[in-house]
Every structure is written in C-alpha cells, then in structure tokens.
Amino acid sequence: MRKIQMVDLQTQYQHIKADIDKGIEEVIASAAFIKGPKVTAFQEHLEQYTGAKHVITVGNGTDALQIALMALGLQPGDEVITPTFTFIATAEVVALLGLTPVVVDVDWETMNISVEGIRKAITPKTKAIVPVHLFGQCANMEAIMTLAREHNLFVVEDACQAIGAKYTFRDGTTKQAGTIGHIGCTSFFPSKNLGCYGDGGAIFTNDDELAEKMKAVANHGCFVRYHHDFVGVNSRLDSIQAAILDAKLPHLDAYIANRQRAATYYDKAFAHNAHILTPGREKSSTHVYHQYTLRLIDVDRDAVREELAARGIPAMIYYPIPLHLQKAYQDPRYLPGDFPVAEKLAACVLSLPMHTELDDEQLEYITRNVLEIIG
C-alpha cells in the first residue's frame, strides 16, 4: 500500500509531469517571469471555467481577501461579518485594514456561517459579509445574498477551499463558488483543490469597476504606470505558478470527482456508527471536499488521532480554536461560550486524509482502522 498522506501531491504530479514540466520550461525559456503570457492565458481559462467575468490573479488567498476589502472603500470602524470557525486569514485582513471583525457562529451540520447569526449581528455600521465556503461546500448563499440586498451590504466570498463547487438558487440558476457575491477570493496554496507549487491566489468579480480597482490595488495603487492614485500593495501570481495552474486546470473536474468518490466511501463506511457524524450537506451546493471532516461524539478525539498516527494514518484538526478565542483577536464583546456551535466543533472535529489519489486499498485501511479505534 502507498504511504497514506493528508494530501498526496507527488503521485498527482507523476500523472501530469509532462505537461507541468513543459509549462515550466516554456516560462524559463521565455524569461517572462512576471506578468507573462502564461498569466494572461491562465486568467482567461479560469474565467471560462468559473464563469466569472473577471479573474485577477494575485500572490495568495490572503492577499486576495485583503485586496477585495481594500477595493470596497470601507472606513476604519466599519464592521465586517465573518464566521468564527474558519482559517485565521478571513478575519486577519479585516483587522489589518482597521475594520472591525464581527464574528458569528456556524451551523452544526454544514459547519458554515449561520444565517441567523448574521442577521443578529447586523448593525448600522455593518458594511460587508465574508462568508467562508468551509471545507468545500458553499454557505447558504441564497439567504446571505437576500440579507445583503436588504441591508445594502457587500458580500466577499472566501472561496479558498471551494473552487469548482456549484450553488443552485431557487430560480434554477447555478453559479460557482466565488462568483456569487460582489467579489470572490480563492487560494492556490499547494494543498488547495487547485494548487500550484508555491503561493498563488485569485479574485473573481462580475463588476467592471471593482475589477479595475482591484487590479490597481494589487499594483501599488496605480491605473497608469508610475501614477499612484492611492496606497496599494504588490501582489502577483508569477508566470511559473500560472503555467503549473494552467496545466492542472483541465484536470480540476476529475480531481473533484476523485475527492467526491473518496468522500462517498467514507460516508458509507461511517454511516452507522453512533460516535461518528459524517459531514452534513448544504442542500443547494455541491461539495468539493477540500477536507473530509468528521465530528466525533463522546470519544477522546485527541487519543483517536494519536492511535491513527501510530497506524500510519494522518488526521488533522481544522480548526482547534475559533477566532473569538484566539489571543490576537480577543475582544471584550466576546466570551467563551458565546458561540457554542463553533466551540463544540473545535473540540470534536477530525479531518481524514482527502486528496485526488486515494485508492480503495487506502480507503479500506483508513475506514477499518477508524472504526476499530472508535469501536
């Protein structure tokens, strides 16, 4: 049996080595390392794939979120609503920009931001919502977009874990994660569903004005070279990463299918164990399983994780501490116990190996051992 890893990028590379190597060699031969034709080509292909009118590539997913918020013209003290159960980057950029992160609880089943939580958190200072499509399925975007319209709020989707997930609205229209709100952000961190071999990210929007503004923000605040209209940042996807991503994009649907197949295997194996809750599903969204995350009930989660490691099965805790309990984000408005669902999830979640190369032998070994350990 091949060694079990959380993510197996080596095996994935072996299948597409010829295309990846060719792309990298072309960039080196052309010496167009920054803003080369590979970047433009990849952006166009990603526009076609996602249906977004504009794709703007940037240095990483965190930059994508920061640039998105910088383009909205928010003022210090404006409130931005995010879930408390997420990766830190979601709230970090809000805090860095002098905006006020307002955190809300999540839904126990989908682990995504609670719409009721958002509704209660809206104040006259609220300017934007940043829903996170956690672990690969969209948040309840129908309700979130309706709330945003009612209160005149921007929606910036954190789609870093959900590229390729599809959301179907009640009127029958289907949109991809990241193309539903005013702006969507994604990450090409190597382990993400569409990962490069370094850092990378992208921003999606259908709004021409926001697109121009975000390109300028990412380029030192200039629309015209050496004319700086406002304070911006420097954030770019380099051509080598673009070439790698362009070689991988045609495989993304197959990669998603492989992840879904592994998830179905897990779902079936764990369906009848009282201590294991498999991931709940958001009914209007497909799930691209960036992570396959169990909730373990009345079990010593950390002991399970150790015993799995001893048997050669890695497992990770995403995320062990909700935002409102992080040292850097302590705020007199929030106390332990304020967001009980997120706190309960942080104490009971366990993510199993999930990637594009899991085979039946590995899946059988993982599920058999999880069931043996948990009993």
Q: Which stretch binds ligand PLP (CB under 6 A): 24-32, 55-63, 332-340, 360-368?
A: 55-63
- Determine, following the binding rule CB under 6 A, whether residue 61 of this chain makes contact with ligand PLP: yes
Instruction: Tell me the per-residue interface mask from 114 to 133 with ligand PLP, x by CB under 6 A, - otherwise.
Output: ------------------x-
- 29: CB partners within 8 A, 6+ apart: none
Per residue, the 3-state secondary structure of 220-241, as one string, reads CCEEECCEECCCCCECCCEHHH
Nearer to ligand PLP, 155 or 374 (CB): 155
φ, ψ for residue 50, nearest 5 deg: -85, -25
Interaction of residue 291 with ligand PLP, rule CB under 6 A: no
- Contact flag: residue 255 with ligand PLP (CB under 6 A): no
- Residue 29 CB, shortest distance to ligand PLP, in Å, is 28
Question: CA angle, corner 185, sides to 181 and 191, nearest 5?
Answer: 140
Query: 262 and 269 in contact (C-beta within 8 Å)?
Result: no
Nearest distance, CB of residue 261 and ligand PLP, angstroms = 22
Q: Could you tell me the smallest distance in angstroms from the CB atom of residue 65 to ligand PLP?
A: 6
If binding is defined by CB under 6 A, does position 235 make contact with ligand PLP? no
Site for ligand PLP contains 89 (CB under 6 A) = yes
Whether 68 and 183 have beta carbons less than 8 Å apart is answered as yes
Number of residues that bind ligand PLP (CB under 6 A): 15
**In terms of CB distance, is 188 or 265 closer to ligand PLP?**
188
Contact call for residues 246 and 38 (beta carbons, < 8 A): yes
Q: Is 60 in the site for ligand PLP (CB under 6 A)?
A: yes
86 binds ligand PLP per the rule CB under 6 A: yes
Scored b (16 or more CB within 10 A) or e, 325-340 reads: beeebeeeebeeebbe
State the nearest-atom distance from the C-beta of 86 to ligand PLP, in Å. 5
Under 8 Å between Cβ of 103 and 113: no
- Distance between CA atoms of residues 292 and 282, nearest Å: 14
The residue among 120, 134, 69 whose CA lies nearest residue 322 is 134
SS3 7: coil
**Segment interacting with ligand PLP, rule: CB under 6 A, options 83-91, 173-181, 213-221, 345-353:** 83-91
Does residue 176 belong to the site contacting ligand PLP (CB under 6 A)? no
**Residue 258 binds ligand PLP, judged by CB under 6 A:** no
Single out the segment in contact with ligand PLP by CB under 6 A; choices: 37-45, 84-92, 170-178, 221-229. 84-92
Comparison of 58 and 71: residue with beta carbon closer to ligand PLP: 58
Using CB under 6 A as the binding rule, the residues of this chain from 144 to 163 that contact ligand PLP are 158, 160-161
Identify which of residues 117 and 362 has a Cβ nearer to ligand PLP in the complex. Answer: 117
Contact call for residue 62 and ligand PLP (CB under 6 A)? yes
For CA atoms 357, 360, 365, 369, give the dihedral sign.
positive
Candidate list 85, 154, 167, 189; residue touching ligand PLP; CB under 6 A: 189
With residues binned 3-state (H G I as helix, E B as strand, rest as coil), the percentages for the chain, rounded to 5, are 40, 20, 40
Q: Does 246 bind ligand PLP (CB under 6 A)?
A: no
Among 57, 187, 193, 219, binds ligand PLP (CB under 6 A): 187
Other CB atoms within a 10 A radius of the CB of residue 296 amount to 20
Q: Rounded CA gap, 46 and 43, in Å?
A: 5
Task: Name the residue number minimizing CB distance to ligand PLP.
Answer: 61
Q: Residue 160: which of 92, 221, 105, 98 has the closest Cα?
A: 92
Of residues 160 and 342, the one with the C-beta less far from ligand PLP: 160
Which residues lie near ligand PLP (CB under 6 A)? 60-62, 86-87, 89-90, 132, 158, 160-161, 187, 189, 199, 201
